[in-house]
Structure 1
Amino acid sequence: MQLYNKLSAQERAHLIDKAGKDRLTISFYQYYKIENPHILRDHLFIEWNKLNVLGRTYISNEGINAQISVPSENLEALKNQLDSVSFLKECRLNIAIEQDNKSFLKLTVKVRDKIVADGLNDETFDVTNKGVHLDAENFNKLLADPNTICVDMRNHYESEIGYFENAITPDVDTFRDSLDIIEAQLKEHKEDKNLLMYCTGGIRCEKASAYYKHKGFKNVFQLEGGIIEYTRQVKNKGLENKFIGKNFVFDHRMSERISDDIVANCHQCGEPCDTHVNCANEACHLLFIQCEKCAEKMDACCSTACQDIIKLPIEVQKELRKGIPNSNKIFKKGRSEVLTYKK
């Protein structure tokens, strides 16, 4: 019984090209008390492997958080498979605005303590007492209300390339960092303002809205389906788009363009740019914004030091990588002393 990937990313990419079939990038989540997440993990891996599903999924006792891709021809089969799991029946699927057949190159289904790392003790508050869910039309209405404070629940490298008009965009590295910071900033408005939140697909707001209601905020609202579903409704219903720039996504595409505005800048030269890349030096892998000119000049690296390293033989690079504590650069995305024009 296969419960792990047997193909490398390169082999999978070759098979995708050879198949010549369009794939859909999809995300979904569901908070639900799962007694034995390991059983569900194995079940989903087996069933999804049959449907040629790829992607990254986390399962815990509190629910499931999935970002996957599936061949378009298997979409209905995937829906039927999800419907066969009681708490996933008719679960909303967020289909990506921009598609890329290689958004994911392997299938990973992991059991985690949390489906989103929030640092919260769920036993201390009612996680089901969530904020009011708003569709795109009502979100726009509340956003225009002068009595509303709109907060971006994403991280700094996400909001740097795109955000809603007049939204507060906390300069944080992680979701857990933002929770207490936002509460402290808005503590004077727990009763007299509307707290309107949004994130990529809605999952962070689900937990945050319950947490802020527990903390005494009286009027808590969240964008249902996040930026992804908002964009789809805006297009389908002909609504005014209030999102400026790109939506950061956690797959090989890295972003979806929502509006033509470029609100960020190249971290190396300062020119307008909103293209995220990872440093070509695998020992660094720093996420940052780089324009085409700098990519050519710097060989797709974040610094001259990394540029020197990638010119070495691969075996030498591998030796240099051994024992190097590079996790800080990888997880402190977009933060490095070499990024001269990082805002």
Structure 2
Amino acid sequence: MLVAELIAQRQFRFTEIPIEDPGPGEVQVRVNAVGICGSDLHSYAEGAIGDTPCEYPMVLGHEPAGTVVKTGTGVGGWSRGDRAALEPALYCYHCEFCRSGRHNICANIRFLSNPGTPGFFREFVNLPVSNLLAIPPELSLELATIVEPLAVALHSLKFAAIQPRETVAVFGAGPIGLLTIACLKDAGAGRIWVVEPVSHRRELALRMGAAAALDPTHLDAARQILSDTARRGVDCAIDCAAREDTTNAAIRAARNGGRVVLTGIHSAAFVPFEVSPMRRKELAIFNVRRSCHESHEALSMLTSQMSSFAPLVTHTRPLHALPDAFTLTEHYADGVAKMVVVP
């Protein structure tokens, strides 16, 4: 099968490797579609995700959907041709965190696309049957790639704990930010501000339900939000961009006793935070680690609101055009929102 390996920063190599049969309890899946995530871009452009360096060669991609090819022994309920969204995380199920239901912080987690565990920019994959979610016939495989990032957005809302009509500021309108806006509207949030420098992303954010879209290259977004709220600030600020300036703007934009949710992944291992306003306002700061048992909810939400989510998938590219797909996505070119690779 064809595999795309990242062998250095901004450099892919295409290679053929054998396809192994699925083991007991596993399903072999033809990978039909994989979304490019912001963390893929970190690995590609920076050679690391935060303080975790790439280990070359490695296979990226963790927002997959595909079609069942064959099943291993002991697998029932799945047949050749069945379509599925694929969970990219493998848990140990016996550590203290798994036993308490917090599988996303499993002490022995393996995440497909992290160093040592190849991701989905390849033609076939063998996965435990529990990592497959059946998708309905009306949902395209390309749109099904949104299940994984939508689950992340839903997980972030567990920390945001939005009450009806509460105000929210979302920093960053990449795919995670846009999905967060959709989840906020679904949760009954009131006015939503989005802060995003890329014009076509601001437009998409308004379509997804934001009431105001601010360009931080032309104004102080936190100051504008404070002005719009009569100096009160928003009930919750969610940073999906993960930059020093966006995190600190989120801190400044939150009200006294408010919540700040850090969904995005910072490129730097150490980031200066404005601790004085955090303390004075007694803010609750939450970090988000992928998702935890939200995938079925994400699939249900996606299926019931397909027309709302469909505009997010703006581009597709074949696997052999992966370098072009990454370049276009990295530079926000051609109005790209979500890029989906079709192996």
Instruction: Determine if the TM-score, normalized by the shorter chain, exceeds 0.5.
Output: no
TM-score by length of structure 2 reads: 0.35
Looking at secondary structure, tell me which structure has more strand per residue: 2
Larger Rg: 1
TM-score, length of structure 1 as denominator length? 0.35
Higher relative contact order (CA 8 A, sep 6+): 2
